[in-house]
Structure formats: C-alpha cells, structure tokens
Structure 1
C-alpha cells in the first residue's frame, strides 16, 4: 500500500491552493481569546502559518506534515518547529496547544485512521483549547449536479458533516459548530443556512 508521504507528495496542487490565505483567515476569526500555541496539521510549506503570523505576531506556530520535503521549506521565522509525523501518532506532549488547525486535511487520511486522529488531536489540546478543520463537502450541490466526487487522488476519505460531528462528540469535543467554507464564502459569507451550497465546510470543536 502506498504511504501517506508518497500519496501526498504527488499532489503538488496543494502547495498552490489559491484559497489557502482565506481559509486561514477564517480559522483565525474563530480563534478563542489569548491563544499562544498553535499546531498546524498538514502544514505543507507553511503558507497558512504565514497568514496566522501576520494576523498575530505573538503566536507560536508548530507545523505537522508527513512530507519531509515540505517541512524543509517551512519559513523558520514563522514556525517554531516543523514536526515530521502522522496525525495518528502526533509526536507532542499532552495538553500542549491552545489551538489545532487542519485545513483540507482529514480527507487525506483513510477512514480507519480518522478516529485515531481525532483522539490524538484531543490529547495534545489544552483544556479549553479549540480544534478547527475544513474539508470538502460531499453534499455540495455543484458536485452532485456534475456527478463529481470528493474522492480521488490524495483524497482517500470523505466526510459528511453530520457524521463527522458525531465523531467529534464521541471523542469528547464539545460546543461543536459547522459553518460554510471555500470560495462560495466570497459571495455568501460563512453563515448561509444551506450547507450544500458550499464546496467545503468548517467544523469547530472545543476541549472543555
């Protein structure tokens, strides 16, 4: 079976995603007060971290990725550390981070690894910390009309928001919220009541 590193190294488009800047701005808008430490899961070459650092120079940002070559490109003026590893076994201490972000990441792991990933993120979050993720929306109306799938290439799982919300709750996350994400937010914002108009969605869960 192909490794996560090999699979994701082949998806070079992720290094040029035109929505990355807006996605991380959206993340920051939902950060709780007094955040100091952030883990950026699937940090790639650090474009998202650069956005966060520009918004708040005091943040201490750590990046986790399974593609070593991308970690080598992380700007050391932005990231405290680039961590080579997998989300199923995060090489960090318990209760280390105020916030964990995972932008367009969870669809890159197999269904069998999703629960373990959610447990690991919960472990490394401080009590009172927050987890934010975005992922492609399988219920996106445009995809359905075009008979397109989230699956394919490096996308090896898909996540309906109601099912993923239950997974977060069963892991121990509380105050779970879901908002729209992706390019449609440029026109409708994050709060349009019909999630199926969004190509991606944002899910937020707290460790309380």
Structure 2
C-alpha cells in the first residue's frame, strides 16, 4: 500500500509535482464497529515524511472540540475519488472531485444508525450534492479545518438523506495518544502520521 500526494489524478503516478510514500502501519480505532460505523477513524504511518511544498501541505485539524460548529449557516467542502453518480464507475477514482454541502445539526439529522456524540451530517434538503461510493475516508472541510471523515450514506445525493461523517474533533485525544504510543524509533513523528481521511490519493497496490 502506498500514498500519492501532490496530484489531482491517478492516471499518471509520476509527475513533476507528485510524491509517493509507502505505508508502514495502519492503526484503526480499537472500538470501530462496522455494523454501526461508529468510531470510523484510523491513522496510518508512512515510511518517511512527505516534502512539503507548493503542491503538498498538511491539512489542518481542529485543536479543540468546537461547541460553536453549528452556529450560523456552515457550508463545508467534501472531496474524494469516488463515483460521480450512484452505481456508475465512469471516471471514478481517476480525478479528485469536490462539492460544497451544508452542515446539518446532528440533533436534526434523521438518518440511522447515528452517533450523536461523534458524527456529523451534511447535505442539501433537495439532494444533488454528496459524497458517494469510493469517497469513504475523504475529508469534510469546514471553517478551513478538517472536521469530518466521509463514513457512510444511504445512496448518494438523495433528497432528505444527508451523508454521515466521523466527527474529528471528538477524537483529538485518541489521535494524540495513538501517535505518542506508536512513535518509538521515529524522528519528527507528526510528519510520519497522516490521518486516513487526509489520504485523498491513497492506492492499494
């Protein structure tokens, strides 16, 4: 398994801007439950850090839990390599896509199962904008920070059926403790770890 950064297409892995790093270890949340998609978050460790430049940068995370996340009409951006319409593989995975989706207050989100503590919902009431199959693990960026990880949904972009995201700021302690526990023998560890939802260009090889 390896990670490609610095490119918005996987048609050509090698380019003047792209960088490839191999995965050393995958660290899923110990309480992840597939049947409910609770704790749907993981870290991966790569063998050496990316070189940060104009094309490759770290994606900023929230540093504390945001009690004011739902104040005002918050519009977020979700990105990924998945299908551009349900049950269609045309162009899926070849080019990075993104779309804007309004955040929905969790208490008003009617999809189930749903962790009110650690989930986010986003989507338009009329549908038409959403993550889709193949986008899981992609980022939901709100207020210029990665607040969500694409987790699951019922179909894609259906009316009154928002997408569900793992809420990142609920897992900040877990992220920091997991990094600290798995840091033996590494230098500049925070650059060796990338949240799996940041891996917009991850390829299983």
Note whether the superposition's TM-score is higher than 0.5: no
Larger radius of gyration: 2
Larger helix percent: 1
Larger strand percent: 2
**Higher RCO (Cα < 8 Å, 6 or more apart):** 2
Q: TM-score range by the shorter chain?
A: under 0.3
Report the TM-score, using the length of structure 1 for normalisation.
0.27
